[in-house]
Amino acid sequence: MLSWSNTGYKLTLGVGSLAIVGMLSELWRDILPPWAALAIALLPLVMFVFIHPGEIPPRVVLVAHVVGSVWYVVVAAGLLIALSRADPLPRGWPVYPLGVVIGAVPCVTVLYRTARGRYQSPADSEGGGAEQSEVADRPLK
């Protein structure tokens, strides 16, 4: 799992989510209501901030983080493509790609580590937890 604090997630994914909300609001203001733009943009942030290793089984955390990461990357890529095709470009458009890249850091890290099979730490795996409990059950001499 990523060993980031909630502040790290809130900062990086928060900036990225704000950029996504801004792009959704600028590009589809007549089609998409503001609450829908917020829901689309904040889903990955919510999945990272509220689903922690240690509180929830590691497999659930892995699935939630991968789903949140894929969601973020797909939405961000689609919006960047739409932004590149927009004519005229929205006001303040250079801020959007910068924010999206900042927010993509934890998502790309999760996807990379998952693809390499290294996203779960040994302590979070099923075998690691069993070894720790056996050591704790030994009688003291």
Give me the residue spans of the domains in the chain: 6-119
3-class state of residue 53 by DSSP: strand
Mean pLDDT of the region 7-31: 86
Q: Which residues of 38-77 are buried (b: 16+ CB within 10 A; e: fewer)?
A: eebbbbbbebbbebebeeeebeebbebbbebbebbbebbe
| Residue 138, pLDDT score | 45
Q: How confident is the model at residue 2 (pLDDT cuts 50, 70, 90)?
A: low
Which residues 6+ apart lie within 8 Å of 127 measured at CB? none
| Residue 135, pLDDT score | 39
pLDDT tens for each residue of 49-106: 888 878 889 899 899 999 999 999 999 999 999 888 888 887 778 889 999 999 999 9
Residue with more model confidence, 8 or 70 = 70
| pLDDT over threshold 80, residue 141 | no
Mean pLDDT of the region 111-124: 75
Distance CA 76, CA 17 (A): 9
| Residue 41, pLDDT score | 93
